[in-house]
Chain A
Amino acid sequence: MATIAAPKSGSPGTTLGTPLLARIGNTPLVRLEHLTADLPGIQLLGKAEWHNPGGSVKDRAAAAIVLEALRNEQVCPGKRLLDATSGNTGIAYAMLGAALGFPVTLCMPSNVSPERKRILRAYGAEVLWTDPAESSDGAIRKARELAADPQYFYADQYSNPSTWRAHYSGTANEILEQTGSRITHFVAGLGTTGTFMGVTRRLKEVNPKIECISMQPDSPFHGLEGLKHMATAIVPAIYDPGLADRNVEVETEAAYAMAKRLARTEGLLVGISAAAAVAASLRIAEEQSALGKEAVIVTILPDAADKYLSERFWGE
């Protein structure tokens, strides 16, 4: 079986520039100062994950999964990486497959945005479209059906421990460093749950007093791309509901309103799940302010708005 050599780091002084994998992570921590202008003592900060080369937070987990698979020779030029995705993980796999030389097959609901479809086509990934009425759960069922075929390595981001470990070793430590360990609250949406699980485990090790709040859609029927309503969805194997100090539910309309507000008051064009995370974070900020407390609230902004600009809510 042909294998793919693990990416090399260049010799100092001879190889210039930054390779793809080294550009994943170490994203900026942006201050949302206009949102909290009337909340003294409150700082609201967001990890700008669209600075990853594939444009989203999913580069982190996808890179961790791919590197593990390369080490174990589970992907190679003749063996396809297979997974279910609602979009951004697929883009990350497609980008990594193109750069590292392995083929990628994705199962994805057909109602992902047209922008995503064009990006995947540009990277050359194979996409199997699943019933939009079944959302990401339909894509998961399709990937499970195909997984028995030996031509595939089923990466299974919803069960793969690399999904949360990438955030445990990467994102969480970046947050601690960027806040000087002054973070008091962490807020993140639940999709694969990898971001919340990994960051929370690390933050709690360092300081158990950091309050970690998970966020999910308020209803099984929602428009928050990539997020899951845990009470009714296929629950990811890596999800531990006991880890969150509390859970906040966000309505799709509140996320849309926050996306527009962030664009027009902070000059930030964020995606819908990022807007939902900020809406949840602002509720925490207002609670803390009402209690007369100071707080450093950090959330994850999974991607930017560029893949959602065809959504009609921008014009409503």
Chain B
Amino acid sequence: MTIEIPTPLRVYTANQSAVAVDANTVTEAVSALLARYPEFKKHLYTPDGKLRSFVNLYLNDEDVRYLPQGEESAVQPSDTLSIIPSIAGGGLAVQAGAPSA
């Protein structure tokens, strides 16, 4: 599957905007990302291993926190996982209903 990297973290991926990983679940995908780029860990997780509350993971357009299986949700090779900072709520799910004028 593909993991899209937000601009502020591309400094750790040699400026790549997307990274391909082999994974069966969201957890496995993130683990693969962290194995390749260990510097990501402190940006995404608290010291006790919890996803930082302003970090949103989207599986395609769905917020992983609200999927029935959460981070254990199954992923397909064609799926995209996005890492989006919550500037102040909103995100991809809200973008779909964003006012245009």
User: For the complex, what is the distance from the CA of A313 to the CA of B52, rounded to whole Å?
Assistant: 10
Q: List 17 A-B contacts (CB under 8 A).
A: A87-B87, A110-B91, A112-B89, A113-B87, A113-B90, A114-B90, A120-B99, A132-B6, A132-B92, A135-B6, A135-B8, A219-B43, A223-B52, A223-B54, A252-B53, A256-B54, A272-B88
Residues on the B chain within 8 Å of A232, using CB: 8, 11
The residue of chain B having its C-beta at the shortest distance from the C-beta of A109 within the complex is B87
Q: How many residues of A contact B (CB 8 A)?
A: 44
Of B43, B55, B87, most buried by chain A (CB within 10 Å of CB) is B87
Is A121's CB within 8 Å of the partner chain B? yes
Residue from the list B11, B52, B88 in contact with A308, Cβ < 8 A: B88
Residues on the A chain within 8 Å of B73, using CB: none
**B36-60 vs A: 1/0 string, CB under 8 Å?**
0000001110100000111100000
User: For the complex, what is the distance from the CA of A168 to the CA of B4, rounded to whole Å?
Assistant: 42
Residues on the A chain within 8 Å of B7, using CB: 133-135, 137-138
Residues on the A chain within 8 Å of B14, using CB: none
Known: A253-B52, A253-B53. A133 touches B4 (CB 8 A): yes
Residues on the B chain within 8 Å of A118, using CB: 99
User: For the complex, what is the distance from the CA of A212 to the CA of B90, rounded to whole Å?
Assistant: 34
> Nearest chain A CB to B52's CB is how many angstroms away?
7
**B1-31 vs A: 1/0 string, CB under 8 Å?**
0001111110100000000000000000000
Is B95's CB within 8 Å of the partner chain A? yes
Of B5, B43, B46, most buried by chain A (CB within 10 Å of CB) is B43
Stretch at the interface among A58-66, A122-130, A199-207: A122-130
Known: A133-B7, A232-B8. A308 touches B89 (CB 8 A): yes
Residues on the B chain within 8 Å of A223, using CB: 52-54, 85-88
Is A220's CB within 8 Å of the partner chain B? yes
Of B54, B88, B94, most buried by chain A (CB within 10 Å of CB) is B88
> Nearest chain A CB to B83's CB is how many angstroms away?
8
Q: How many residues of B contact A (CB 8 A)?
A: 32
Docked-complex contact A117 and B88, CB < 8 angstroms:
no
Docked-complex contact A221 and B88, CB < 8 angstroms:
no
Known: A127-B100, A133-B6, A221-B9. A110 touches B92 (CB 8 A): yes
The residue of chain A having its C-beta at the shortest distance from the C-beta of B96 within the complex is A110
Known: A117-B94, A253-B52. A221 touches B87 (CB 8 A): no
**A175-215 vs B: 1/0 string, CB under 8 Å?**
00000000000000000000000000000000000000000
Docked-complex contact A222 and B85, CB < 8 angstroms:
yes
Known: A118-B99, A220-B8. A135 touches B88 (CB 8 A): no
User: For the complex, what is the distance from the CA of A111 to the CA of B42, rounded to whole Å?
Assistant: 22
Of B8, B44, B91, B92, most buried by chain A (CB within 10 Å of CB) is B8
